[in-house]
Amino acid sequence: MEKSKKIILTGDRPTGRLHVGHYVGSLKRRVELQNSGEFDQIFIMIADAQALTDNADNPEKVRQNIIEVALDYLSCGLDPAKSTLFIQSQIPELTELTFYYMNLVTVSRLQRNPTVKNEIKLRNFEASIPVGFFAYPISQASDITAFKATTVPVGEDQLPMIEQTREIVRSFNHIYGEVLVEPDVLLPDNKACLRLPGTDGKAKMSKSLNNCIYLSDTQEEVKKKIMSMFTDPNHIRVEDPGCVEGNPVFIYLDAFCRDEHFKTHWPEYQNLDELKAHYTRGGLGDVKVKRFLNQVLQEELEPIRARRKAYEQNIPEVYRILKEGSICAQKAAAATLAEVKAAMKINYFDDEELIQAQAQKFRQQP
Ligand code: TRP
């Protein structure tokens, strides 16, 4: 049975280069899942159509960032031989599904979606929300269900989208018959990875706040950003006791550091707990901790940078990968759309039985 297949779908809006928050929140996990061999199919989508829902006036930004995101994917280790990398707008079936799903969702349900609510505020859309933006959770349900995804690895902010998708699936299957698959969300298991703060300690990493460490930053850029990171504002002299909770340097260490890092870079401590205890007691300066974080992060980012360099020398190949992936993704989405249309009774020309039955009905009429 189709249902027992394990299928991943996830993606990102191409509105900027991806940063270390994307990495620990989702990208790293995707690569692990890809290499686990546990999944029958993996679809990774560059969500350009979704990006246009709030960037309709800036198509060039979206166009430029397609290649940035693709390079970020490939450099993190997503492998086109194992994962299908594709571009959302190239799959018209997704738009078609969205139009049908719109009938299953109410305006008030969309208004209650906490992620959309928050984004409307952030973009000052309160007075005039573009319909496409307002409805993007429905389009996201199409992205997921078109591939019969069972598993959607995303960050915490996407939870309301998956919940909305599950409701649409239940509603569709209830009305039209069991066609769609209810997906499960897969969140990062490390709490620090759920929402990595910006280098300024603000909850959200954002390009406009200039508080992100990008996967494509050079070694020097990363070092500079780490050395100027916010820490505990009350930790003024080295002897002062410091606070690790809410301290971005320690949150980053929570996300990136493993015991092995201490063996190679800082053998005075066995593990992060010991380091935190020292910082909390007092007598440990921020600069030392930042230097250590720099070593840990550089070690993680170095292979990513190296792979990026290689792909940057072969951009036409990257576009070829996306094109092949889009062709493959379209086939999968078309198969689901055919089932959806049959279930919704809008497959008139494929249904010989219907044509015969209608013929019969009208023949009998005098
Ligand atoms: N909303 C996601 C983001 O902002 C991108 C996205 C679009 C997505 N469709 C999806 C993620 C389907 C997971 C599944 O990055």
What does the pLDDT look like over 132-146, one tens digit per residue?
A: 999 999 999 999 999
Give the pLDDT confidence score for residue 192 in this predicted structure. 77
What percent of the chain has pLDDT above 90? 86
Average pLDDT over residues 330-357: 95
Distance CA 63, CA 292 (A): 38
Distance CA 78, CA 311 (A): 12
**How many A from CA of 179 to the centre of ligand 1?**
22
**How many A from CA of 242 to the centre of ligand 1?**
38
Structure-token pair, residue 89: 């707008």
pLDDT surpasses 50 at 339: yes
Residue 10 CB less than 6 A away from ligand 1: yes
Please, are residues 65 and 87 in contact by the beta-carbon 8 Å criterion? no
Give the pLDDT confidence score for residue 1 in this predicted structure. 47
Q: What does pLDDT average to over the chain?
A: 94
Q: Which of 3-12, 34-43, 91-100 has the lowest mean pLDDT?
A: 3-12
pLDDT surpasses 90 at 223: yes
- E-only strand ranges, the chain: 7-12, 41-46, 84-87, 151-153, 184-186
Average pLDDT over residues 97-115: 95
Residue 34 CB less than 6 A away from ligand 1: no
Task: Please tell me which of 21-25, 35-39, 204-208 the model is most confident about, judged by mean pLDDT.
Answer: 35-39
Give the pLDDT confidence score for residue 3 in this predicted structure. 53
pLDDT surpasses 70 at 2: no
pLDDT category of residue 100 using cuts at 50, 70 and 90: very high
Select from 89, 150, 161, 187 the residue to mutate for testing ligand 1; criterion: most ligand atoms less than 8 Å from CB.
161
Distance CA 272, CA 274 (A): 5
107's CB contacts (< 8 A; 6+ apart) are: none
Average pLDDT over residues 178-206: 89
- Ligand 1, closest atom to CA 50? 7
Give the pLDDT confidence score for residue 225 in this predicted structure. 97
Q: Which of 75-84, 199-208, 233-242, 318-327 has the lowest mean pLDDT?
A: 199-208
7's CB contacts (< 8 A; 6+ apart) are: 39, 40, 41, 42, 43, 147, 148, 149, 150, 151, 181
348, with CB counted inside 10 A (0-12, 13-18, 19+), is exposed
Sheet holding 84-87, edge to edge: 84-87, 41-46, 7-12, 151-153, 184-186
pLDDT digits (tens, 9 = 90+) for 269-295: 999 999 999 999 999 999 999 999 999
Any idea which residue has 């280790």 for tokens? 77
pLDDT digits (tens, 9 = 90+) for 287-316: 999 999 999 999 999 999 999 999 999 999
Give the pLDDT confidence score for residue 302 in this predicted structure. 97
User: Per DSSP, what are the bridge partners of residue 197?
Assistant: none
> pTM surpassing 0.85?
yes
- Name the residue with the closest Cα to ligand 1, atom 14: 10
Please, are residues 151 and 186 in contact by the beta-carbon 8 Å criterion? yes
pLDDT surpasses 80 at 364: no
**How many A from CA of 286 to the centre of ligand 1?**
37
pLDDT category of residue 366 using cuts at 50, 70 and 90: low
Residue 91 CB less than 6 A away from ligand 1: no
